[in-house]
Structure 1
Amino acid sequence: MTKNDQPSGPGRTPSRRSRYRLSRRPDSDPESGSRITLPTQPPQPPLRQVSRRLVLALAVLVATTLIVWLDRSGYNDNSDGSVDLLDAAYYATVTLSTTGYGDVTPVSDGARLTNILVITPLRVVFLIILVGTTLEVLTERTRQQWRIGRWKDTVREHTVVIGYGTKGRHAVATLLGQGVDRREIVIVDPQAKVIDQVAMDGLVGVQGDGTRTETLLRAELARAARVVVAPGRDDTSVLVTLTARQLNKHATVVAAVREDENAPLLRQSGADVVVTSSSSAGRLLGMSMLSPHAGAVMEDLLTYGNGLDVVERPVTKAEAGHSPRDCVDLVVAVVRGRRVLNYTEPEAAVLQLTDRVITIKPA
């Protein structure tokens, strides 16, 4: 990040010119157009879809043939006057295909009534099966629009993850491992193929530039409880954080940044927590060099669902009034209000019912 891109004083955000320069360099894709995708099932192979339609069409043809043959006394064949099974199949074929040569015709009132109430609906079903691809596309679009509208009306207190690269995917995996419902996670990414993969993973995806207000509004960020900012560039992280904080003043914003010198910009932009990926990796490397076992333990703690996990949870009634050392789990810190107390501090000697504890426990 250049000097011109940094705020000129405490609490000041980048100027319009700097912001414009930054916004010209987002992690975007030329094919990116804003759209919302909901969780989907893997599409069936084309051959299976065609085979299924052929089986349905054949079933309708067989049913029509049986109906005509059972009521064959009410039909007349111009060639010999009688209708056998072959004539019934022939009549069903030309009728369902709307050809209608007129050589086999219903003559009785019952046969004509059957044609009105049964054969004609079967003809419509047969035609729908033949043009099923087009109708299926239209139906799926209508259904998707209805699902998106319903999702917008019901989504509340969710988590918006901006950027679905390595950092974003691991953040989502950790959230899912801690019990967050997939329906409460929304992914924002500019690449169409990434959003398609998001839908296959069972998550809601919004394709678009995360630095733009309209994209974040489509993700319903204004009603989100948590925001994870994890794009691939530090300047993009600053712009995303500024836009997110402008839309939502109360959400918890956690942002990732590559360089330490850009961390103050993220905090001034409104991030509650800033994680520096390069320095964190360097510290882990240094620890692993001096003590490989300590480095392995730290890596284990950072990998949720494997070995030992770091978990924040509320204090139970049985634990209130006791020391953190009396808890079943290993307590390393106590969260009291907005303060984080080390378990060795005198204020944390007695747990309160309104406290939360950060513990290490088996995965």
Structure 2
Amino acid sequence: MIHFPAQRRGPLSALSLRLAAALGLVFAVVAAVYLGRDGYRDVNEDGLTLLDCFYYAVVSLSTTGYGDITPAAPSARLVNVLFITPARVIFLIILVGTTLEVLTEQYRTGRRLSRWRRAVKDHVIICGYGTKGRSAVSALMENGLDRSRIVVVERSAAALRQATSAGLVAIEGSATRSSVLNEAHVKSAKAVIIATDSDDASVLVALTVRQLTAGQVRIIAAAREAENAPLLKQSGAHHVIVSSATAGRLLGLSTSAPPLIDVVEDLLTPGQGMALAMRSAERDEVGRSPRELESLVIALVRRGKVVTLADRAGAVIETGDMLVHVRDDRPQSATTA
């Protein structure tokens, strides 16, 4: 099942709107009947009072029709045909508005689903919306990816509600099932991020994605234990991030070199100061040393492989290289202050 971000008003607001529309119709009919009260016939033959007009409006709109007050003049009958009868239909629609709202919501959801299926392409699939999954979504959006191009696959109902509340499209089900991944259009995805709670589930997801996409979609997986990283790579993951090992290294650095922790957090936290970025090498930079550039280049990516500046191959920038550099990520107001 595909869950879209909620787009509905609160129940009190919807009820108030219907009540106001119903009362508006009643008052409009009362006004029409009162203005043409001389054209109506009452069984008491004493003329229509304002209360009689309210009475006639209510019994007419509710299709009760006792017959004690009837339009006699041609003008009154014309008003009934052209105004009161359509108002009666609209009043009935308001009374059964709950059913119509359900049908309308189903139709609207169907249309949104059709449009989404036609437009979804080059998106990123997040398998698991726990702590790691939410952090991955935040990082993607901070790097400029629109939330409409992020699809969450999750089994937990609470996590699904969190995803849709964040404005994301969420698919209910296990990412280890090919039918669920096909619902997420995995074959046309740009990347799949596996952020499940267990390594065995991550391996199954990686195998399923590789089988469905024939290795054409980039797979990034998180592993809890370092010994499972090779298994994930064998299962089809292009990159594996070992969460426990990374946290352990940071804990070790906090003891031996505490300032390095602040540097790492600064690099990983957007808008704080420094940030890692990657860009293509410009034409006038080809043939030059990365150390000569104005920006602080720390590595090159050449034909999909990382080349450090300590390597001989990293001494000169070549055509097609990607430059990994440190950029100033402070807010504009802070940089100009």
- TM-score if structure 1 supplies the norm length? 0.85
Give the alignment partner of residue 169 of structure 1, picking from 134, 144, 152: 134
Moved more, 155-164 or 338-347: 338-347
Q: Matches of 2:282 and 2:135 in 1, distance apart? A: 30
SS at match of 2:53: helix
Find the counterpart in structure 2 of residue 340 from structure 1. 306
CA–CA distance in 2 between the matches of 1:59 and 1:267? Answer: 66
Letter in 2 for 1:173: S
- Measured after TM superposition, the shift of residue 253 of structure 1 is 0.4
After TM superposition, the structure 1 = structure 2 runs for residues 1-363 of structure 1, keeping only pairs within 5 Å, are 35-41=1-7, 43-44=9-10, 46-80=11-45, 82-248=47-213, 249-317=215-283, 319-352=285-318, 354-363=320-329
Give a deviation string over 1:279-299, Cα, whole Å, max 9, x none.
Answer: 010011111111111012112
Aligned-partner Cα distance in 2 for 1:343–1:71:
92
Deviation at 1:71, TM superposition (A): 2.9
CA deviation map 1:70-123 (0-9, x unaligned)? 333332222225334332222111111111111122223333233223222221
Q: State the Cα distance separating 1:305 from its structure 2 match.
A: 3.6
Higher RCO (CA-CA < 8 Å; seq separation 6+): 1
- 1:120/1:274 Cα in 2 relative to 1: closer, same or farther (>3 Å)? same
- Output the CA distance in 2 between the equivalents of 1:353 and 1:60: 73
* Mean CA deviation greater in 346-355 or 261-270: 346-355
8 Å Cα contact 1:229/1:255 also seen in 2: yes
Percent identical:
47
Q: Hey, what's the Cα distance between the residues in 1 that align with 2:165 and 2:187?
A: 25
* Structure 2, unpaired ranges of 5+: 330-337
Number of corresponding residues:
328
1:352: Cα distance to partner? 4.4
| 4+ runs deviating over 6 angstroms | none
CA RMSD of aligned residues (A): 1.9
1:17 matched residue in structure 2: none
Structure 1: stretches of 5+ with no match in the other structure: 1-34
CA deviations 1:141-169 (Å, max 9, x no partner) are 22112211210111011000000000000
TM normalised by structure 2 equals 0.91
